[in-house]
Amino acid sequence: MVHVAAVCALSLLTIVVSAQYDMVKEYTGQTFFDDWIFYNNFDNLTNGNVNYLSAKDAASQQLAYINDRGNAIMKVDNTTTVTYPNRRSSIRINTKDRYTIGTLWIADMLHAPYGCSTWPAFWSSAPTWPSGGEIDTFEGVNQVTMSQMGLHTADGCTHTNTSMQTSTLINSTDCSTAANNNEGCIITTPTTASYGAGFAQGGGGIFVTEFAATGISIWFFTRASVPDALQGNASSIDPTALGTPVATWNSDGCDVTEFFEPQSLIFDISLCGDYAGNSNSFYQTCTGVCYQDWVLGDPSNYDNAYFEVQHVRVYGQPGELTVIGSDAPRTTVTVVLLIALLGLSVFTLL
């Protein structure tokens, strides 16, 4: 039995090392919004000055729709004059399915929101926040010119190793929501093509997030630098073909199996709130008062406050449970845990 167990463990270990991912879900075209949940509430989570609309209202007000090019549009209301003390309409959606450790997801965006008071993000979270973890793939505020990537977790997760990433712009290293006013462990994407007007003028780009037991990694590719591995309708992805990621949080500083549960993917656009409206952030690139001068101001302030998304694709490791439906129990079995259950050490196997 020990011999059989060793063979099984080696097989599992091979999956970890080869790290090939096969497509398990695609959000694209006319059915893009079918498997997302619209938040349908005011921003009671980050104190933004927005009302997130239901799917019905978002469609009728043309804030969430599929454009003539077949791409998904999610936007802030840029036609209504808002009066005090009201909020401006916007969008927040999350996937019905959740994705386990051992998945990789891709967001191909042609345009992302920017401008004073805006706070857009493409990210993921577990239902049990913060104990289940949060991964911020794309985030920015106001008129900054580079996007940020980061993690938010329970106490004990840190960013400790920079040797396997290209960005040297390390904003903070403690991922705990209890540290530094929940700043998270943040890394800046080191190019002005990753956010704002630069992102739009370059035709957007592709963000890739690997959610693995060995660590969490995020890549960004400008439209002009998309690698062959991401061209076309790729049915499988080998992350080794993507080069060095922009940011990596290795398991030596943050045990992914301890700090993360299955994740729902999220797009949202808030206004002002805890981040964009914070004076330390707002006055770096904007003037006036966030709510009074922008949210209540000329609605054309938000002409650039929209996502245009070609597709979101999710990939999973072959033979692994990677998709958990919205009504399924929150349980995850990972390769590392399976090896542990077999009573074998990775180092012994090597």
pLDDT tens digits for range 190-227: 999 999 999 999 999 999 999 999 999 999 999 999 99
**Of 59, 84, 88, the residue nearest 76 (C-alpha):** 88
Query: CB neighbours of 151 closer than 8 A, spacing ≥ 6?
Result: 133, 134, 135, 136, 157, 159, 175, 184, 185, 216, 249, 254
Under 8 Å between Cβ of 309 and 109: yes
* Alpha carbon of residue 201 to chain centroid: 22
- Cis geometry, peptide bond prior to residue 127 (ω within 30 degrees of 0): no
In the prediction, which pLDDT does 17 show? 45
Rounded-to-integer distance, Cα 307 and Cα 50, Å: 16
Q: What is the pLDDT of residues 306-341, one digit of tens each?
A: 999 999 999 999 888 899 986 543 333 333 333 333
Q: What is the pLDDT of residues 289-298, one digit of tens each?
A: 999 999 999 9
Query: What is the Cα gyration radius of the chain?
Result: 20
Instruction: List the catalytic residues.
Output: 134, 139
In the prediction, which pLDDT does 331 show? 35
* Alpha carbon of residue 186 to chain centroid: 13
In the prediction, which pLDDT does 338 show? 37
DSSP 8-class letter at 291? I
**Of 123, 120, 124, 125, the residue nearest 142 (C-alpha):** 120
Q: What is the pLDDT of residues 148-194, one digit of tens each?
A: 999 999 999 999 988 899 999 999 999 999 988 899 999 999 999 99
In the chain, the percentage of residues whose pLDDT exceeds 70 is 88
**Cβ atoms < 10 Å from Cβ of 46:** 18
In the prediction, which pLDDT does 162 show? 85
In the prediction, which pLDDT does 319 show? 83
| 62 vs 183, residue with greater confidence | 62
**Of 35, 81, 78, 41, the residue nearest 57 (C-alpha):** 41
In the prediction, which pLDDT does 327 show? 57
> Which domains, ranges and CATH numbers included, belong to the chain?
21-331 (2.60.120.200)
Q: What is the pLDDT of residues 16-50, one digit of tens each?
A: 445 799 999 999 999 999 999 999 999 999 999 99
What's the mean pLDDT when you consider all of the chain?
A: 90
Helices (H) and strands (E) in the chain, counts: 8, 21
The CA-CA-CA angle for residues 51, 52, 56, to 5°, reads 120
Rounded-to-integer distance, Cα 185 and Cα 28, Å: 31
* pLDDT surpassing 60 at residue 3: no
CA distances from 32 to 26, 27, 73, 74 (A): 8, 5, 10, 11
* pLDDT surpassing 80 at residue 348: no
Under 8 Å between Cβ of 166 and 245: yes
| 82 vs 350, residue with greater confidence | 82
Question: Residues 64-91: what's their mean pLDDT?
Answer: 99
In the prediction, which pLDDT does 181 show? 86
Where does the pLDDT of residue 15 fall: very low under 50, low under 70, confident under 90, or very high at 90 and above?
very low
Both tokens assigned to 130: 């913060």
Rounded-to-integer distance, Cα 232 and Cα 298, Å: 40
Rounded-to-integer distance, Cα 173 and Cα 161, Å: 10
Under 8 Å between Cβ of 213 and 334: yes
